[in-house]
Amino acid sequence: MVVKFKKIKILFFPIFLIFVFINYGCTPASVIATGGGSAMVVAEGERSLGTVIDDATIKVNIAAKFLNADNNLFVNINTSVLEGRILLTGLVENQEIRIDAVRLVWEVEGVKEIINEIEIGNRTTLKDYASDLWINTQARAVAAKTVGIKAITFNFETIQGKIYIAGITARPDLLDEMTLALKNIKGVNEIVNYVIIKEKL
């Protein structure tokens, strides 16, 4: 039994690293963290690898909490994690579920702040859901066109025509340019900006 445990323990670390660098993506150009239905991409140099792994751990732990909860929290709520700062977006049926989601996130070690943008309601038709998906796709395309490779440092979530932007950048001018372009996407009724501006080192 001891030998088997050691083998499992030895195998776990490389498997964990593969999981982090495939699902949270590590390339020479960028580091990607995903979870729920969202993706957070941060360009190399914006965050340390240690911080990225800490955020990835927080995201995995939140996902586990949501999976074990009732009310389909894992399916209905998206999470973006940036330096322990959590952005929650999605649609739930009532205020109690919304509050419960926040409570569960606070139980996760390393969480420093929660921005709760979970809305109450539902997508009544497939058309509404398809519209949000289309807007989100257009948002990524517009970002790539306006700011180029820097677009990978931003995460987009669209809920009922409202685009939430999260990420980290040292170029507020590029962020402003991108935000102006996003407003021209058909169907967008609001843009909520949670991008952290950091000074260039």
User: HEC string of the chain?
Assistant: CHHHHHHHHHHHHHHHHHHHHHHCCECCCEEEEEECCEEEEEEECCECHHHHHHHHHHHHHHHHHHHHCCCCHHHHEEEEEECCEEEEEEEECCHHHHHHHHHHHHCCCCCCEEEEEEEECCCCCHHHHHHHHHHHHHHHHHHHHHHHHHHHHEEEEEECCEEEEEEEECCHHHHHHHHHHHCCCCCCCEEEEEEEECCCC
Write down the pTM of the prediction: 0.68
Q: What is the pLDDT of residues 25-66, one digit of tens each?
A: 333 333 333 334 444 444 434 667 888 899 999 999 999 999
Residue, of 56 and 15, whose pLDDT is higher: 56
> pLDDT (tens digit, 9 = 90+) per residue, 84-105?
999 999 999 899 999 999 999 9
**Predicted confidence (pLDDT) per residue in 124-170, tens digit:** 777 888 999 999 999 999 999 998 888 888 889 999 899 999 988 88
pLDDT digits (tens, 9 = 90+) for 72-89: 899 999 999 999 999 999
